[in-house]
Structure 1
Amino acid sequence: MQMLLAFTTLALLATVTCHHHLRCLQGKYHKPSASAEPDMKECRLYSAASCCYANFTEKLTPSPMVKIDNYYWNKCGNLSARCESYLKQLECFYQCSPHAAHWMHPNSSESMQDVPLCQSFCDSWLEACSNDLTCVYKWLTDWTIDEDGNHCRNACIPFKEMYKNGTDLCQNAWEDSFKVSNTTGRCLMLTEKDEVVVNTMTDEEEPSSQGEKPMPAETGKEEDS
């Protein structure tokens, strides 16, 4: 069993390396480039090529989650276990995935933009958090922030009242970090299957050296000497 796990890890790392996904976002906890982190406490999906250090994942081990640094998750009470698991998946992807930088925000190297999440993931996320409470629509900007952390400006209401549907949740909670996609094989579920999806998308975006056409010759007149 241990040999099988080791082989799987090496195979994943080789695939990631082959497709040049080792670049990381440039946030507070991001590494310069992805590398193996075998001692991760959470986010183990990315242990073969992680953009976060193993000690960061210790911040995600408590349940119920209270806070990461000075950012509180429980301003409207503790989240249910199902809801919390989705938030941890998203946090793990942002902090640790070697693929997140594929969607680096053009105006902020520590942020993502338009990561394509599958519609089914977004719908399941809202279902899991349906009866949990939140006081913000946009989780990055709608808080009052001071030296004591983030504070609600408005009353706490259920997720199902804050967001119309899964699309609304995915495309607004993290600002423009995520977008919803209905295209099979072109969206992420934040599981091990994402590796194949990202590899396919990257291959399609890279120009083929064999299929490149020669540059057209210049047709202008030469200047007189």
Structure 2
Amino acid sequence: MDRTMAVLWVLVLLVAGAMGQDSLLNTCMDAKHHKAEPGPEGQLYGQCSLWKDNACCTANTSLEAHRDQSYLYGFNWDHCGVMPPSCKRHFIQDTCLYECSPNLGPWIDKADTSWRRERILHVPLCREDCEQWWEDCRDALTCKENWHKGWDWSSGTNRCPQGSLCRPFPAVFPSPSALCERVWSHSYRVPGLGRGSGRCIRLWWDPALPNPNAAVALFYARGAAPPGAPWLPVPAVLGLLLLPVVRGVL
């Protein structure tokens, strides 16, 4: 292969890598209530309002995310008595992130269920967000470790399976990472990264500040490029690659 062809082949690989990175950014997963593409939603409700400027959820979805038993999935937070509001707040934030965020592309995975084709898997959740979630749920009760499956749905909503006991969260989830990683079938992982690292996803942030998760998604999207491929704008790549060819001609 001559030098010109080699340069062109490398360029094709780099452009393909850049396109792959772009496909992981500003995107919505293929799931039950998600929009096809993210966009502005000026009237998002409550804790979903963080995503009003660019959301994968509709205003109605954001409202339903705050109900104790909504039409979204028929799921009841109060399956072992009334969940304390301080605990429920985190589950609502978690629902808003899942339904509304356009910044989860690097962790979208195929799902083999009747109600969604895609899910999130191993999203790196910030350590403080997970620790506060667990701390605020210490007085809550549950009968199951994995809330994705194993419920009794005979009544139309989730009930504890026969023979299970309602226990305090710390007895079911002995650590913050146990809660965040197990409750939704490893949708999250907790790598121990702090909020200031810029390498973990936030459930909540100061609404007066820009969305910090966009930069985190960009960081991990870059990591999805072909091994060894630099992250450079295409014009810069063209210049670097074609320089030896031009010199050879001149």
Shorter chain as denominator, the TM-score bin is 0.7 to 0.9
The equivalent residue for 1:157 is 167
**Cα deviation 1:61-104 (Å, max 9, x = unaligned):** 44xx2444422111111211110110011100111100123311
Q: Output the CA distance in 2 between the equivalents of 1:211 and 1:161.
A: 54
Q: Output the CA distance in 1 between the equivalents of 2:50 and 2:108.
A: 20
* Secondary structure at 2:43 match in 1: coil
AA aligned opposite 2:130: C
Percentage identity across aligned positions? 26
Q: Output the CA distance in 2 between the equivalents of 1:179 and 1:142.
A: 22
The equivalent residue for 1:172 is 182
Matched-pair contact (CA < 8 Å) for 1:82–1:128:
yes
The reply on whether 1:126 has 2:134 as its aligned counterpart is: yes
The equivalent residue for 2:121 is 113
The equivalent residue for 2:54 is 49
The reply on whether 1:193 has 2:212 as its aligned counterpart is: yes
Matched-pair contact (CA < 8 Å) for 2:104–2:217:
no
The equivalent residue for 2:65 is 60
The reply on whether 1:182 has 2:201 as its aligned counterpart is: no
Aligned residues: 195
The reply on whether 1:86 has 2:90 as its aligned counterpart is: yes
AA aligned opposite 2:217: V
TM-score by length of 1: 0.78
Q: Comparing both structures, which one devotes a greater share of its residues to strand?
A: 1
Matched-pair contact (CA < 8 Å) for 1:133–1:157:
yes
Q: Output the CA distance in 2 between the equivalents of 1:143 and 1:180.
A: 26
Q: How does 1:203-218 map to 2 (within 5 A)?
A: 203-206=222-225, 207=229, 208=231, 209=234, 210=236
Q: 128, 136, 140: which is aligned to 2:144?
A: 136
Q: Comparing both structures, which one devotes a greater share of its residues to helix?
A: 2
AA aligned opposite 2:190: V
AA aligned opposite 2:28: C
Q: Relative contact order (alpha carbons < 8 A, sep ≥ 6): 1 or 2 greater?
A: 2
Matched-pair contact (CA < 8 Å) for 1:171–1:178:
yes
Q: Output the CA distance in 2 between the equivalents of 1:211 and 1:136.
A: 52
* Secondary structure at 2:190 match in 1: strand
Structure 2, unaligned stretches of length 5 or more? 1-21, 206-210, 242-250
The equivalent residue for 1:221 is none
TM-score by length of 2: 0.70
Q: Output the CA distance in 1 between the equivalents of 2:217 and 2:34.
A: 20
The reply on whether 1:31 has 2:35 as its aligned counterpart is: yes
Q: Output the CA distance in 2 between the equivalents of 1:120 and 1:95.
A: 22
Matched-pair contact (CA < 8 Å) for 1:66–1:78:
no
* TM-fit CA distance, 1:149: 1.8
Which structure is larger by alpha-carbon Rg, 1 or 2? Answer: 2
* Secondary structure at 2:118 match in 1: strand
* TM-fit CA distance, 1:58: 1.4
